[in-house]
Structure 1
């Protein structure tokens, strides 16, 4: 697939289907061409979100559990599972399993999974795989939360109960992000929240009074996308701003006994969304164990951090103190 062979009418139909959000409309995919066109465009953009999330996990020093199965549930074209296995290394897993309500999608994902990882068993998850009690090493979930039926929700809940870790990426919209936050609350008794949250407490965004807020971040598109005529045409036709790639995500790892005697570390914060810059200061939507709040960062208090945030290069985790809505001290982690 390339820009010359891309079927733009297929993409138009897929876009209308995505926007409709019909849970009962059946599979999106009518032909392999549908999946090829999707994987090359919409799927690739989803891959950029996964790349950003995986890089964030690397910065935080987290690695996926090794030696187990990766299950890509609701796989579509399989872009999420391939990104995850490639990032952590196929040698660290015993198998890549795929599941989707579309047989055609599983055919596509299985073919390209085997092509990408010739030394790793890649196959469809069977009924027994989905309904048994065998542990799942890594459960991968991508762009499904607003389409879940009651049956699918129950199945996914049961799979989470068997997973050693869960990696989940969704669009960064208000509705979808808050739905994902609901899953965080449902699962946090069983799991340690690895990211994006800097704490294990109740999600501050979901508390009363914060209904207008949502937890989201922005993934950087690859260098050169803005100058690529194919991507520019795709963005215009699909009504997508190539500069903006909002996403929400959740990473969970099953709880284990906490080691005793570990020295305390400063409680970190995470900046939700992007900083809003004004003359001499920036406003930041901050999340920490105390909840969520809008904070002001004076340029004179932390000029280097102010510059990094302005250019979108600041790290997502921060160690700072704040009082009365103002960041008062930047601390070393």
Structure 2
């Protein structure tokens, strides 16, 4: 089965179930996921699209913050079918990068990802493998941490230290978020933290008493997906709630590479899903002085409250905080 032949009518459900079981078991470190190009094609049409929706949310937030990566090659490490690299190239423009470089344990995956990238960006130079030495451009990492033992995580941390910028997306689980926080702490002396944080201090979730919390948000599926018969069937067969797209992410840029922008200094980042009640909402909030649960009364910010009630995204807020109360909201993004 070739890439062009794979569609909803020709999906290999047995292969998708095998892949799903491998993902859930975190078997990628010991067992090769990909047994054929058809595996990758089936994955790229289904599971990979859900990852793409998470990347869309991350890239939209970076655009909202006015950030774009510095010039340089894109390295999609642990590329799988290459969906993360393609999302980045699409958002920032394939013509703005000299090349895409792919790395994966599987040569099948690198070949598939290269073919898909060339199909979308015909003029793009695509290379494979990781240079042994020297600086890297934009390092793209997606859903890799749960497959790596400690020694390989440390090696990945050292690889990240060679990059000019890092975009990193992981599943929004407690364990994966905490692992990503550890990476943030290991890199923040050398890198500016672009997002999700609005500060460069130690992550407030590491403070005593916050052990049960984790940094995550929820992406929205594209309009129409929940009513699409193919996606509904996929969700049922795979046991997936199509509405739930939790993710954790990290965006970094090497210090001194460009003038640092403090556009959102003093703002707070909303973590997780706000809880909306009659007349008030609770927001778990992260800022330079730590994390805390804030109460927003409807009467203090009716427009923001309405957005929260309507389940519209509110990621960043600027306002006056009195104790545990968000007494006034001067601005909210998006």
So what's the TM-score if we normalise by structure 2?
0.94
Structure 1 Cα separation of the partners of residues 249 and 286 of structure 2: 15
Q: For residues 271 and 93 of structure 1, do their structure 2 counterparts lie closer, same or farther at Cα, with a shift above 3 Å needed?
A: same
Please give the secondary structure, in 1, of the residue aligned with 2:7.
coil
Tell me how far 1:22 sits from its aligned partner: 2.8
Q: Secondary structure of 2:161's partner?
A: helix
Aligned position for 1:85: 89
Which residue in the other structure is 1:103 paired with? 107
Name the CA shift for 1:117/1:259 in 2 (closer, same or farther; >3 Å). closer
CA pair 156-263 structure 1, distance change in 2 beyond 3 A: closer
Paired residue secondary structure (2:110): helix
Q: Could you give the per-residue CA deviations for residues 154-208 of structure 1, whole angstroms, max 9, x where no partner exists?
A: 4322321111100000000111111111100010001000000111111111221
Unaligned ranges ≥5, structure 1: none
Residue number in structure 2 paired with 1:132:
133
The match for 1:69 is 73
Partner of 1:199: 199
**Cα 1:250–1:24 shift into 2, 3 Å:** closer
* Residue aligning to 2:250: 250
Alpha-carbon distance in structure 2 between the residues aligned to 1:320 and 1:92: 37
Task: Please state whether the residue corresponding to 1:138 is helix, strand or coil.
Answer: strand
Counterpart check, 1:117 vs 2:121: yes
Q: C-alpha separation between the residues in 1 aligned to 2:38 and 2:286?
A: 43
Cα distance in 2, alignment partners of residues 265 and 176 from structure 1: 26
> Which residue is equivalent to 2:217?
217
Deviation sequence 1:76-107 (CA, Å, 0-9, x none): 00000011011100111111000000111111
Measure, in 1, the Cα distance between the counterparts of 2:280 and 2:23.
Answer: 39
Distance 1:24 1:9, change over 3 A: same
SS in 1 for 2:99: strand
How far the C-alpha of 1:324 sits from its partner, in A, is 2.1
Superposed CA RMSD in Å reads 1.9
2:295, 2:324 within 8 Å by CA — same for their partners in 1?
yes
How far apart, in 1, do the equivalents of 2:177 and 2:114 lie?
Answer: 29
2:3 corresponding residue in structure 1:
none
Q: Number of matched residues?
A: 327
Which residue in 2 is equivalent to 1:208?
A: 208
Shift of 1:251: 0.2
Report the 3-state secondary structure (helix = DSSP H, G, I; strand = E; otherwise coil) of the residue aligned with 1:230.
helix
4+ long deviations beyond 6 Å: 257-260, 262-265
CA distance in 2 between counterparts of 1:216 and 1:257 reads: 28
- C-alpha distance in 1 between matches for 2:58 and 2:186: 22
Match of 1:26 in 2: 31
Q: Which residue of structure 2 aligns with residue 54 of structure 1? A: 59
Contact 2:319 2:326 in 1 (8 A): yes
Spell out the pairing of 1:103-182 with structure 2 (5 A cutoff). Answer: 103-126=107-130, 129=131, 131-133=132-134, 135-182=135-182
Do 1:305 and 1:314's aligned partners in 2 also have CA atoms closer than 8 Å? no
- Say if 1:11 and 1:38, in contact at 8 Å, map to a contact too: yes
Q: Tell me the distance in 1 between the aligned counterparts of 2:239 and 2:92.
A: 33
Contact preservation (8 Å) 1:275, 1:310:
no
Deviates more, 1:18-27 or 1:45-54: 18-27
* Structure 2 runs not aligned, ≥5 long: 1-5
CA distance in 1, matches of 2:161, 2:326: 39
Structure 1 CA distance for aligned equivalents of residues 221 and 258 of structure 2: 38
Q: Give 1:319 deviation, angstroms.
A: 0.4
